[in-house]
Amino acid sequence: MKKFRFISLVLLALALAGFSQKLKHCTVTFHVEANKKDGGPFSVPVMVKNPPREIFVEKMASITEREIQSIFPFAANDGTMGCAFKLDDHGRVWLDSLSIEHLGQSLVAFINNRQVIDMIIDKRVSDGIITIQSGLTNEEIEILKMKFPLITNGKHKAKKADSF
């Protein structure tokens, strides 16, 4: 009977540990500025700071965590964290394309559906690296570190190392 209780407790502990890991997730999405006339089903209004104004962004994310290959977190000047995201081939091509098509417009970054930062697309980005300069929390960075390989010295800190 004691053996059964012990096994049950071990299984319960393992199940709870697995469940707690599933609760820690981190979605990363980047949305481009949309035409205000697109309205309702295709865009949503957001307030941006750069410059301060209300814009509409596409509901469908242009880039998501599915395209992220690796990350490089860093401390930002304002006491928050920043992170550079190296995209896979699909994301790199998509970023290159949207940086040409939406030149002069805003790109808004969301982490777990929280608006983190908005950026003006001021040049073509063909290297496949997109950076959130600030606004991330330490907890978000820790979750990102568990989900993605780190970039160190131009290589991934993982078993499969790719240089870029």
Q: Digits of tens for pLDDT over the chain (164 positions)?
A: 555 454 544 445 555 555 444 446 789 999 999 988 776 788 899 999 988 999 999 999 999 999 999 999 999 999 999 999 999 999 999 999 999 999 999 999 999 999 999 999 999 999 999 999 999 999 999 999 999 999 876 554 443 333 32
Domain count, the chain: 1
18 inside domain: no
Q: What integer pLDDT is reported at residue 157 of this predicted model?
A: 47
pLDDT of residue 37: 78
**Residue entry with tokens 């307030």:** 47
Domain carrying residue 81: 25-157
| CATH number of the domain where residue 68 is located | 3.30.1360.200
Q: Is residue 90 part of a domain?
A: yes
Give 63's contacts (C-beta < 8 A, 6+ positions apart). Answer: 29, 30, 87, 91, 94, 95, 98, 130
Take residue 74 and report the two structure tokens written for it: 């860093």
pLDDT of residue 153: 66
80 lies in some domain: yes
Angle at 82 between CA 156 and CA 141, to 5 degrees: 65
